[in-house]
Amino acid sequence: MDLIPAPSSAVRRPDEDFPLDAATTLTASPALADAERWLRATLSAATGLPLGPGRPGEGIELVLDDALAAEAYRLTVRPGHVLLAAGGPAGAVWGAQTLRQLLGPDAYRRSPLRREGWVLPGADIEDAPRFGWRGVLLDVARHFLPKSDVLRFVDLLAAHKLNVLHLHLTDDQGWRLEIRRYPRLTGRGAWRERSMVGYRAAQRRDDRPHGGYYTQDDLREIVAYAAARGITVVPEIDLPGHTQAAVAAYPELGNSDVVDTAALGVWTDWGVSHNVLNASEATLRFFEGVLEEVLELFPSEFIHLGGDECPKEQWKDSVAAQERIRELGLANEDELQSHLIRHFDRWLAERGRRLIGWDEILEGGLAPGAAVASWRGFGGGVAAAKAGHDVVMCPEQHVYFDHRQADGPDEPIPIGFVRTLEDVYRFEPVPGQLDESAARHVIGTQANLWSEFTDSARDIDYRAFPRLVAFAEVAWSELPTEPAARDFAGFEQRLTTHLKALDALGVEYRPADGPHPWQRRPGVVGRPLEGPPPVR
């Protein structure tokens, strides 16, 4: 049946198919209304069939089964009845995605190519995910992505049973969410005068203003749209580094005794700016105000506060920062950063939320309730898990999808290490050195799409797909934990069918034999790294 991601169990019943026609009905338990609504709208658009409401025990029926886990489902296809039993709303959404997949690639179109001949193959399918956090980071700070493209990306995540959209909303190069009490964050911080084209070594710029932001209503819409498809949106507000856009909007947030913060603009370079937040009480109050509005918009348990790549030079040179270190009884600048992260860890915990940050938050001491997104290899995640902290594994050497997919001159703006489709399929999120207790703290895995070199949805499609398909199977399916034991050839065979579904969805993925001419960026300099990725 060429299902991706591979289900826990799938048995084909060749003589027990269920044909769909104008009389086919669709009904569901009230708790599964989101899945029912999505399935009816999607299949009606693709098939031209009305799929009106019916009676229990006939047609296509969605029911709750308390014996199943929340994201688990069981799909039974017989000639007179299709029964999708789910442990909760999310399980019903994932089962509905499988049901669509069983109808073939044409079921992914928005208008029918035919109105007859639709058949669900007879089958017994039981399924549940390996990890509870199956995430993708979308960086909308470096290059803004319009809301319509974000909603399309949500649909693509849902089609692959990925359930976390990590929105990287703020950085040195732009602030992308409306904060009503601080209007200059978007009035000034949401646009830059120009952008660097390619890697910094070429010193090439486009001299075109770039910007955009999401209103609070936009974000409420994105969150609700994602939730109806089983996806949680986790916002990232980066601090204390990666904050030049915020300092450009509100200069009092920066280290004004070291640099003329009033003269700073939103950064037009890629990389890591040295203009970071100061550590004053006033700055803490400012970001508490930001986060109060963030919590109103995002109901997610986790709030990502970055904590990565914070240069300490300004703090070392700042009289105010050094006084702050002495006042708090801290040993050094690392502990000053830890103080900021610990403050917001407590602040979020008091409001029933949890902080997650990049693995640099381990430096200077990890906040008690914080979870770690381990990006600099596995080391930070291993240390955090052994210390009893939850971990999301997203090592750059394996699942940074801005990294190039092949060697050769045709790869557009080639950066980082070569990470092929097979490399991604053989990625194992749980390191072997973790014992059973520590391994339970690996709550999931995530692929990251940084956007310095992707300035449109077409670029995102190219870098993400089909590698994101392989990643989805790694995150969902119970594959052998030994990477060499995984059946990549079998996956490739199933992918042949799945690529037709991506074609129907309009996804401009990278062809196996290299980019189309219009997917190349000749003359735009990248930064390809040679040799195998380092093991950290």
By annotation, the residues acting in catalysis are 171, 242, 309
Residues 6 or more apart whose CB falls under 8 angstroms from that of 394 comprise: 135, 137, 373, 374, 375, 400, 445, 446, 447, 448
Contact indicator for 341, 355 with CB cutoff of 8 Å = yes
Radius of gyration of the chain (CA): 24
The token pair at 309 is 């790549």
Q: Please, is 188 exposed, middle or buried when counting C-beta atoms within 10 Å of its C-beta (0-12, 13-18, 19+)?
A: middle
**Which residue has 């708090």 as its token pair?**
328
Residue type, 126: E
Q: 3-state SS string over 510-528?
A: CCCCCCCHHHCCCCCCCEE
The token pair at 5 is 């991601």
The token pair at 13 is 């019943």
End-to-end C-alpha distance for the chain, whole angstroms: 39
Q: Please, is 303 exposed, middle or buried when counting C-beta atoms within 10 Å of its C-beta (0-12, 13-18, 19+)?
A: buried
- C-alpha distances out from residue 248 to 190, 323, 429, Å: 10, 24, 38
> Can you tell me whether residue 137 is helix, strand or coil?
strand
Reference 308, options 331, 265, 337; nearest CA is 337
Contact indicator for 328, 315 with CB cutoff of 8 Å = no
Residues 6 or more apart whose CB falls under 8 angstroms from that of 296 comprise: 216
Please tell me the distance from the alpha carbon of residue 384 to that of residue 440, in angstroms, as a whole number.
12
Reference 448, options 431, 433, 479, 427; nearest CA is 427
Reference 170, options 274, 254, 240; nearest CA is 240
Beta bridge partners of 527: 415
Question: Strand 26-28 to strand 59-64: parallel, antiparallel, or no bridges (unpaired)?
Answer: parallel
User: 408: number of CA atoms within 13 Å, CB side?
Assistant: 9
Contact indicator for 234, 161 with CB cutoff of 8 Å = no
Q: 3-state SS string over 407-468?
A: CCCCCCCCEECCCCHHHHHCCCCCCCCCCHHHHCCEEEEEEEECCCCCCCHHHHHHHHCCHH
